[in-house]
Amino acid sequence: MNNIFITGATGFLGWDIVKNLLGEKDSVLHVLVRAESQLAAEGRVNKLINERIDKEKREDARERIKVICGDVTKKDLGISRPQLEKLYKKIDIIYHGAALCEFGVPLERIRKINLFGTKNMLDFALNCKNKGRLNSFQHISTIGIAGDFGGMLYEKDLNINQGFNNTYEQSKFEAEALVNEYRDKGLSISVYRPSIVVGDSMTGKVSNFQMFYQPLHIFSLELVEKIPANKSLGYNLVPVDYAARAIHLISSNQDNNKNYHLTNPNTVALSSLLDVASSYFGFKKPEIIPEREYDYNKLTGFRKKVLDPYLPYFNHKKLSFDAANSDTLLKSKGFSWPAIDEDLLLRLFKYCADVRYIKRRH
């Protein structure tokens, strides 16, 4: 019996990881859920099972998912001492995905979850290793740790004298630095750096509209006539089902303690993306102009507030990703990233329209 401990399971990427792990028939999933009570925590998980697990698999999921009411930001994860001691002795592998993935959050607030929450999980992992049988710790990071770096980013890289565009990038960088300290303490840790995670490749479904989706929403409202951007800059999109599958495949390998870039070699240009989006939703495509021609003084009020966090990503220095570690493993298992073509983009956009996140004008 394989006992797996998971944080962030009720989140966007986390639940897809759970679905992959449920495919391991000899596994029990101990899922840490932040809630007001054990009953409320179980309710959140049951809702996800009912909504996102096939009917014939729901009973098995309920039997094998053990819900633990807790919080990564609290001492001992908010878990009682007797329960904690039992977990120390039985957990084989940990997946840590709990994080605050937002721009514009004050540094101390985002550190509470992304940095100190990671420290609490690493301390928990050390106890699982020293008192029990823990094999490995799977840490979900982000390609955003590269910050404003331009050039080739290798999987072994971390501190490359980069600056950061926001507190999210900085806090995830700091968490990775902490992970390296705990590697030195004897933990075997795999670090995953996904690029821009988008909805399911087949259904377009996404549980929260962040990162990729928010600028699209702004453009759909026709609040912005021009954007300072590099037309040909390739955006690296990875559908959530592919990202989760890649993490599961890599984590099942015995060669842990490495970093893995989960990046798609099939990028999409901003201009092409906006062509498809503006045609589907019926909004006027904003004009893409070089940054040197853009008058930032005209960006004021609400438009400035909503667009400011994303401007660095329209003019990012050319960044390339070496993904030798992940490519070697994934190719050996028959995995390849999807093309981000018009059909896939339309599935993503259709879901936005179906749930009325972005309204179609025609």
User: Mind listing the pLDDT tens digit for each residue in 149-187?
Assistant: 989 999 999 999 999 999 999 999 999 999 999 999 999
pLDDT at 317: 72
Q: How far apart are CA 213 and CA 198, in angstroms?
A: 8
Distance CA 45, CA 54 (A): 14
Coil/strand/helix, residue 35: coil
pLDDT of residue 232: 75
pLDDT band, very low/low/confident/very high, at 136 (cuts 50, 70, 90)? very high
Q: Are 195 and 268 in contact (CB under 8 A)?
A: no
Helical ranges in the chain per DSSP H: 12-21, 38-52, 58-64, 81-90, 107-114, 116-131, 167-184, 213-220, 240-251, 270-281, 301-307, 311-314, 324-332, 342-354
The answer, yes or no, to whether residue 300 has pLDDT greater than 90, is: no
Q: pLDDT confidence of 195, banded at 50, 70, 90? A: very high
Q: What is the end-to-end Cα distance of the chain in Å, rounded?
A: 54
Whole-prediction pTM value?
A: 0.96
Q: What is the mean pLDDT of residues 209-232?
A: 89
Percent of the chain with pLDDT over 70: 100
Q: Residue 277 corresponds to which tokens in the numbers above? A: 């989006």
**pLDDT for the residue numbered 12:** 93
Q: Which residues contact 344 (CB under 8 A, 6 or more apart)?
A: 201, 239, 338
Sequence-distant (≥ 6) Cβ neighbours of residue 127 within 8 angstroms: 84, 88
Tell which CATH architecture fits domain 2-201+236-265+318-340. 3-Layer(aba) Sandwich (3.40)
Q: How many CA atoms lie within 13 A of 328 on its CB side?
A: 10
Structure confidence at residue 48 (pLDDT)? 97
Q: Lowest-pLDDT range, 44-58, 63-77, 112-126, 216-230? A: 216-230
